[in-house]
Amino acid sequence: MAEAYAIVDHAGVAVDASEPAVIDVLFDGQWVWSFQSERDTRKVGRAAQQLAPWPASLRPFLRGTGHVTVRERFSERTLFDGDYAFDDGAGRVRVVDRAGRPLIVDKAGDLQCGFAARGQATIDVLLDAVEDVLARLAGAGVDAFLAYGALLGAVRDGAFIPHDSDADVAYLSRHTSPVDIARESFALERVMIEAGYWTWRFCAGDFKVIVPDPEGGRAIDVFAGFVVGDVFYLLPEVASDAFRTDMVLPLGEVELHGRKITAPADPEAVLEITYGPGWRIPDPSFKFEAPHWVHRRLDGWLRGNNGNHDHWWPFYFGRSQETVPTEPSPFARWVQDQEPPGSAIVDIGTGTGRDALWFARQGRDVLGLDYIPAATERAGHHARDEGLPARFRTLNLYDIRQVLALGGELAHRDAPPALYGRFLIHALEDGGRHNLWRIAGMALRRGGRFYLEFRTGLDAVAEHEFGEHFRRYLEPAAVIAEIEASGGSIEHCEAGHGLAVYKQEDPHVCRLVAVWKR
């Protein structure tokens, strides 16, 4: 039998995928990423190996030369061990955050600082919050318990899983109607808000509780579990017809970092339903693979509005947003010259608020809207500190309720505002973009303009200062067609380089000015 080996290059890691295996990738001996040789690879050319592409979140770190080790997790057989030069730079590859702590690729493909690199003070703060959240959920009348990775780590090792980065709790709802389950989840979120927590909702049965800590903050996911018909569902991915109520009730306890934490009555049975019969074997490459009917059912009942948050959540919740400049963008300065003095601005996708705050400093009334609460909270603090006429709040463009509420609110203003969306629409999936046109159609019927700047398809090979994330490079003609199909028309269009220069970046962008007058 030929000796197994791997090929490492700028595209990714190529391995023999003829037999399933979990593959670990290390840089300078630090484990960074795991994938499954069969599930996570694709055929490339005529090579015998199949390629696992480098995760998008990892690519910005692959500069210079790195010592790469590729090995099979369970056999510990080394497939590659040596230096690889990713480019001509003189530096060494280091996959660490600004504080020098090692980063890992989590199951969602994001880079996270796992519990193995976290201090005890951070873990203690999170444990305090887990106990508090569970107590508040119980006080609100639901049977809440430790779940998912937090329960798995507690049962296997009495500690958080080293490569995990947050905590999970769930509750067994007594409701069997999706509408009632959604109403209950929103009521529970209000309990957390009233207790002083930040929250962020992913769907009608799943929200995050944000826990500030000495190292930047963690999160606790709160998942609804419920039974409809003969099937038990646990958001976001689990469905089982093998569930029995006595697996959860009466609630018991497990030990987590020396503390007794509320848990299901039979945690092993719940973990088998959650992860399958192999749950006792640590596997950082694990991904939930629910049947298609489960996705369709849960999407129709409770979700389908969470969209593309995987990059932006860690970007704004951590310190990455500090790399964004504070001065206004060239587009903001251009829009300032187009709009009459004193007109109001609604900045959709405001991000750090750099442009919204600048508009407010020019004397404009500003409403800044963004997907991530950590972004709007920080921008709001800046506005209050400076006494600026700017307000900030969250908006989920994938939630039709929020979209219609905002459109109605803006439509009833005394004077229509100018809508502003810089580098917004190329970061949206189709549903979010179409809802954006819905807002514009409601808000601008009596006047006002929508100013848009976005990256075009001619920019698809560009390097990006702020890391890789979802971008759908758009052709101006396609965007114009969508706007016109929604009832709008174009007053101005220009595209090219030189419009959005930042440091070494000069992306090819398009600027549009659209109106939706009757």
Question: Pick the residue with more confidence: 259 or 117?
Answer: 259
Phi, psi angle pair for 9, to nearest 5° = -150, -170
Share of the chain above pLDDT 90, in %: 66
Q: For residue 469, what pLDDT band results from cuts at 50, 70 and 90? A: very low
Mean pLDDT of 144-154: 97
Q: Are residues 346 and 289 in the same domain?
A: no
List the domain range (segments joined by +) for residue 345. 313-515
Q: In terms of Cα–Cα distance, which of 123, 16, 20, 28 is closest to 66? A: 28
Boundary of a domain, candidates 285, 304, 323: 304
Mean pLDDT of 150-173: 95
**Taking a C-beta distance cutoff of 8 angstroms, is the pair 509, 499 a contact?**
yes
Ordered alpha helix ranges (H), 252-397: 267-275, 292-301, 312-317, 330-338, 354-361, 373-386
**Tally of structural domains, the chain:** 3
117 has pLDDT over 70: yes
Q: Are residues 164 and 274 in the same domain?
A: yes
Q: Do the domain assignments include residue 370?
A: yes
Q: Do the domain assignments include residue 1?
A: no
Q: Are residues 71 and 153 in the same domain?
A: no
Q: Are residues 191 and 289 in the same domain?
A: yes
Q: Are residues 100 and 129 in the same domain?
A: no
Q: Please tell me which of 93-102, 365-374, 437-446, 461-470 the model is most confident about, judged by mean pLDDT.
A: 437-446
Q: Are residues 364 and 322 in the same domain?
A: yes
pLDDT of residue 389: 97
Ordered alpha helix ranges (H), 158-196: 178-194
Task: For 258-286, write each residue's pLDDT tens digit.
Answer: 999 999 999 999 999 999 999 999 999 99
**Taking a C-beta distance cutoff of 8 angstroms, is the pair 219, 212 a contact?**
no
Q: At 240, which CATH number?
A: 3.30.460.10
Boundary of a domain, candidates 89, 112, 135: 112
Q: Do the domain assignments include residue 2?
A: no
Q: Are residues 145 and 99 in the same domain?
A: no
Q: Are residues 252 and 386 in the same domain?
A: no
Q: Are residues 122 and 260 in the same domain?
A: yes
Q: At 381, which CATH number?
A: 3.40.50.150
Boundary of a domain, candidates 277, 304, 331: 304
Q: Are residues 295 and 321 in the same domain?
A: no
Q: Are residues 274 and 335 in the same domain?
A: no
Q: Do the domain assignments include residue 199?
A: yes
C-alpha 297/C-alpha 291 separation (Å) is: 10
C-alpha 311/C-alpha 323 separation (Å) is: 15
pLDDT of residue 504: 78
Task: For 441-453, write each residue's pLDDT tens digit.
Answer: 999 999 999 999 9
Exposed/middle/buried for 434, CB within 10 Å: 0-12, 13-18, 19+? middle
Q: Do the domain assignments include residue 348?
A: yes
Task: For 277-331, write each residue's pLDDT tens digit.
Answer: 999 999 999 988 889 899 888 888 887 545 555 545 555 555 444 555 679 999 9
Task: For 61-95, write each residue's pLDDT tens digit.
Answer: 999 999 999 999 998 899 999 999 998 888 999 99
Lowest mean pLDDT among 95-104, 141-150, 490-499: 95-104
Q: Are residues 120 and 94 in the same domain?
A: no
Share of the chain above pLDDT 70, in %: 91
